[in-house]
């Protein structure tokens, strides 16, 4: 459940969406424990403000691989935006660009990456778009997707590594929702080698660090790994030359017994030791959640479902409202905290 100032947009989205599509967006894996924990974990945390710091006006730009964002609040990759709004990923891209932040556009987008990046650049010619991908068992397919992202001008690749198989989503199973409706397609998967039409995205348990290394050799783009929870995996990623990590349990849609992303963040941040940026997503619903994540060592955060609610409720304007609200709340909280956010300011409410 979305709380705070964004609750109304969530309610509006629920009213407007086909209930099957609403449940696809809202739902999680298994008993939805990880999904609920992502939000609950923030409720268990509080911030100790510092005082008398003589602050200047809050400016919160952040340097990221291939992007300088004006805010540490990014759009996380989510699939199938045209199920939420006819403009789909084009609206999301325009809103992210207007907010001066990075859109991580999904491989499972319903608009091809070239058009998505073009829409962002029409708003701001320096807009940064990253491309999220699932490494495919056939290296030729992965390579073709990478070239499409490069040709579109994407400035980084985000490889999602938490999905050796697709999570079991009870809501989708109950609705019999297994395929996109007619007229919708995962457009990045169109006309790939060896497949006329739209190829399926494959999730493959044979994918290993060897595939990540092969990807690194394939491209000059910075590569971030998304879905890291274990500090040892974070160390392997740093040693393997990754440009950044996203601490994430995939919004509670993969391993249901996974911890809340915010609870996993401190150990990952410690293992990385500032060598590369560490992002986190999962359960970010308020500016204070952003502040807590940054205090615990995140460079920036990703926002998933709230962006989808904004998109469903009001298209581009709705996504802008989500990003602007979170940014405004975050800057306010940061100022009230004395303009600094550090680990020793985070305390437990219990």
Ligand X SMILES: CCCCCCC(=O)C(=O)O
Judged by the rule CB under 6 A, the positions of this chain that interact with ligand X are 79, 108, 166, 201, 250, 253
Minimum CB distance to ligand X, residue 301 (Å): 18
Q: Of the two residues 9 and 108, which places its CB atom closer to ligand X in the complex?
A: 108
Q: Which does 201 bind (CB under 5 to 8 A by kind): ligand X, ligand FMN, none?
A: ligand X
Say whether 85 is catalytic: no
φ, ψ for residue 302 (rounded to 5)? -115, 145
Q: Of the two residues 29 and 93, which places its CB atom closer to ligand X in the complex?
A: 29
Q: Name every residue whose Cβ is closer than 8 Å to that of residue 63 and which is 6 or more positions away in sequence.
A: none
Minimum CB distance to ligand FMN, residue 214 (Å): 19
> Rounded to whole angstroms, how far apart are CA atoms 297 and 17?
36
Site residues for ligand FMN, window 299-318 (CB under 6 A)? 302-305
Pinpoint the alpha helices (H) of 104-169: 113-123, 139-151
Site residues for ligand FMN, window 273-302 (CB under 6 A)? 281-284, 302
Minimum CB distance to ligand X, residue 201 (Å): 4
> Rounded to whole angstroms, how far apart are CA atoms 308 and 8?
13
Determine the Cα angle at 163 with ends 166 and 232, to 5°.
155
251 makes contact with ligand FMN (CB under 6 A): yes
SS3 content of the chain, % helix, strand, coil (to 5): 45, 15, 40
13 makes contact with ligand FMN (CB under 6 A): no
Distances (CA, A) of 16 to 44, 156, 169: 32, 34, 22
Question: What is the chain's length?
Answer: 350
Q: Which does 166 bind (CB under 5 to 8 A by kind): ligand X, ligand FMN, none?
A: ligand X
Q: Cβ-count burial of 335 within 10 angstroms (0-12 exposed, 13-18 middle, 19+ buried)?
A: middle
Quick one: which of 71, 92, 136, 160 contacts ligand FMN (CB under 6 A)? 160
Q: Of the two residues 87 and 345, which places its CB atom closer to ligand FMN in the complex?
A: 87
Pick from 335, 299, 294, 223: which is nearest to 64 by CA?
Answer: 299
Q: Of the two residues 82 and 334, which places its CB atom closer to ligand X in the complex?
A: 82
Minimum CB distance to ligand FMN, residue 305 (Å): 4
Instruction: Estimate to the nearest angstrom the gap between the alpha carbon of 24 and the chain centroid.
Output: 16
Site residues for ligand FMN, window 175-194 (CB under 6 A)? none
Task: Give the residue numbers annotated as catalytic, written as ranges.
Answer: 250
What is the contact surface with ligand FMN in residues (CB under 6 A)? 24-25, 38, 76-79, 106, 108, 132, 160, 226, 248, 250-251, 253, 281-284, 302-305
């Amino acid at each position: 459940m979305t709380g705070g100032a964004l609750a109304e947009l969530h309610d509006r989205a629920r009213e407007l969406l086909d209930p099957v599509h609403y449940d696809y967006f809202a739902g999680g894996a298994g008993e939805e424990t990880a999904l609920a924990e992502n939000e609950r974990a923030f409720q268990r945390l509080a911030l100790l403000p510092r005082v008398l710091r003589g602050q200047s006006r809050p400016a919160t730009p952040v340097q990221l691989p291939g992007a300088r964002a004006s805010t540490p609040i990014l759009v996380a990759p989510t699939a199938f935006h045209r199920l939420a709004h006819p403009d789909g990923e084009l609206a999301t891209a325009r809103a992210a660009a207007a907010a001066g932040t990075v859109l991580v556009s999904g491989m499972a987008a319903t608009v091809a990456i070239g058009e998505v990046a073009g829409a962002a650049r029409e708003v701001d010619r320096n807009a940064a778009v990253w491309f999220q991908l699932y490494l495919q068992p056939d290296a030729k397919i992965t390579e073709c997707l990478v070239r499409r992202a490069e040709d579109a001008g994407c400035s980084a690749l985000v490889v999602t590594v938490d999905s050796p198989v697709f999570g079991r989503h009870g809501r989708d199973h109950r609705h019999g929702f297994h395929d996109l409706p007619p007229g919708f397609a995962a457009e990045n998967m169109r006309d790939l080698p060896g497949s006329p039409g739209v190829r399926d995205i494959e999730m493959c348990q044979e994918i290993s660090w060897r595939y990540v290394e092969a990807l690194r050799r394939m491209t000059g783009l910075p590569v971030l790994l998304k879905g890291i929870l274990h500090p040892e995996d974070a160390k392997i990623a740093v040693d393997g030359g990754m440009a950044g990590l996203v601490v994430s349990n995939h919004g509670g849609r993969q391993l249901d017994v996974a911890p809340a992303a915010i609870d996993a963040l401190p150990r990952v941040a410690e293992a990385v030791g500032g060598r590369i940026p560490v992002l986190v997503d999962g359960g970010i619903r308020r500016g204070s959640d952003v502040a807590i994540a940054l205090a615990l060592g995140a460079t920036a955060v990703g926002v998933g479902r709230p962006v989808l609610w904004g998109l469903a409720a009001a298209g581009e304007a709705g996504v802008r409202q989500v990003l602007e609200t979170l940014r405004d709340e975050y800057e306010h909280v940061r100022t009230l905290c004395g303009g600094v956010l550090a680990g020793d300011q985070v305390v437990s409410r219990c």
